[in-house]
Chains A and B, each alone.
Chain A
Amino acid sequence: DADVTQTPRNRITKTGKRIMLECSQTKGHDRMYWYRQDPGLGLRLIYYSFDVKDINKGEISDGYSVSRQAQAKFSLSLESAIPNQTALYFCATSVLRDKGYNEQFFGPGTRLTVL
């Protein structure tokens, strides 16, 4: 089945460490997203990419960077992790349809804890 996968699923790290979260998809979608979810705050967009050469900041990009290595791969890096980056991180994909429809499909998530 066409799918969105994320690795790792869980990660505990220490303040100041560099962390990379990876996302791969077999849906053939050109658009990929990274979100974080915190209790009571819903999903917030970190970065998004509409193709390999098009990467854009979302509403909370400070402290994060991304790399779109291929159409199917989109990685999120925390250059120097801090405790308030402890959250659930989701990758999502979509394909542009008529009239701007943008149904997004989510990966299983990565639970990141920064001590």
Chain B
Amino acid sequence: QKEVEQNSGPLSVPEGAIASLNCTYSDRGSQSFFWYRQYSGKSPELIMSIYSNGDKEDGRFTAQLNKASQYVSLLIRDSQPSDSATYLCAVLISGGYNKLIFGAGTRLAVHP
């Protein structure tokens, strides 16, 4: 079982819709979770971090965390074509040296 799993997509949504990206993780002790956006050929850019159960909102982005279900999601409201990118979920693995484990990413395509 992979430590951090994401649907590879592509997830296709129309402009203005809500895009929902999901991620599950295997380390029950993990406490820190991150979403990165990566445009093709570019470096990952941190867009959201979440540490507590519930929702965290930042502009059009909302991160949701459910530690009991080992599930973290990212909602993008009013999706724009410029949101088309690959979204990487990352989980800080507990114990020893803290290491960030990345999912393989979900490709999002927002069409006009």
Contact = CB atoms under 8 A, between A and B. Distances in A.
B88 A50 contact: no
Interface string B27-63: 0000110100000011111100101000000000000
Given A50-B97, A56-B97, A41 B104 contact: yes
A90 B43 contact: yes
Contacts, number: 57
Contact of B46 (A41, A56, A104, A109): A104
A106 B43 contact: yes
Contacts of A41: 104
Contacts of B46: 103-105
B44 A100 contact: no
Nearest to A111: B41
B49 A99 contact: no
Interface residues on B, range: 20 to 34
A80 interface: no
Interface string B80-98: 0000000010101010011
Contacts of A105: 46
Nearest to B49: A103
Interface of A: 40-45, 48, 50, 56, 58, 88, 90, 96, 99-109, 111
